[in-house]
């Protein structure tokens, strides 16, 4: 079962400050993503259903994937640390329910945190805590070239 997250009780953490400072990128911002919690062990963000739907009013599957990739890639980059960059190399999603209103919440947890590869699972749930999508992302971590 998915966990409900109350944004009003979230505490500011160094990871959340890092993610807020770094930004989430133009696509995630356009889709209305909002950070709630951010650490190496757990990242949470929300996204409105409105504006991210298919023509029939259901949450678009690609929108779930944008939420998942945003969370998983940012979590991998926090793990990678300064001077290193995490880039997505594989992502998959299984959609099990369609949200039609409100917000969805993505909860990202690590499956594997290595030196060169990370794997994260993102559970996306609706306002009632029902899981809508499960996303798994693999990121490769590499050193940034000296500038």
β-sheet bridge partners, residue 95: 133
**52-to-98, 102, 103, 144 alpha-carbon distances in Å:** 12, 11, 10, 34
Catalytic residue among 21, 37, 50, 69: 69
Is 21 an active-site residue?
no
**67-to-71, 84, 116 alpha-carbon distances in Å:** 6, 23, 23
Q: How would you class 145 by CB atoms within 10 Å of its CB: exposed for 0-12, middle for 13-18, buried for 19 or more?
A: exposed
Please identify every residue annotated as catalytic.
69
């Amino acid at each position: 079962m998915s966990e409900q997250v109350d944004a009003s009780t979230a505490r500011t953490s160094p990871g959340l400050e890092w993610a807020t400072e770094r930004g989430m990128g133009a696509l995630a911002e356009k889709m209305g993503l909002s950070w709630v919690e951010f650490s190496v062990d757990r990242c949470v963000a929300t996204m409105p259903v409105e504006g991210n739907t298919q023509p029939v009013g259901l949450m678009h599957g690609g929108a779930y994937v944008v939420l998942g990739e945003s969370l998983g890639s940012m979590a991998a980059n926090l793990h990678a640390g300064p001077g290193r960059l995490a880039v997505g190399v594989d992502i998959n999603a299984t959609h099990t329910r369609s949200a039609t209103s409100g917000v969805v919440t993505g909860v990202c947890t690590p499956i594997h945190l290595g030196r060169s590869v990370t794997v994260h699972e993102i559970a996306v749930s609706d306002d009632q805590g029902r899981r809508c999508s499960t996303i798994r992302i693999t990121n490769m971590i590499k050193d940034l070239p000296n500038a």
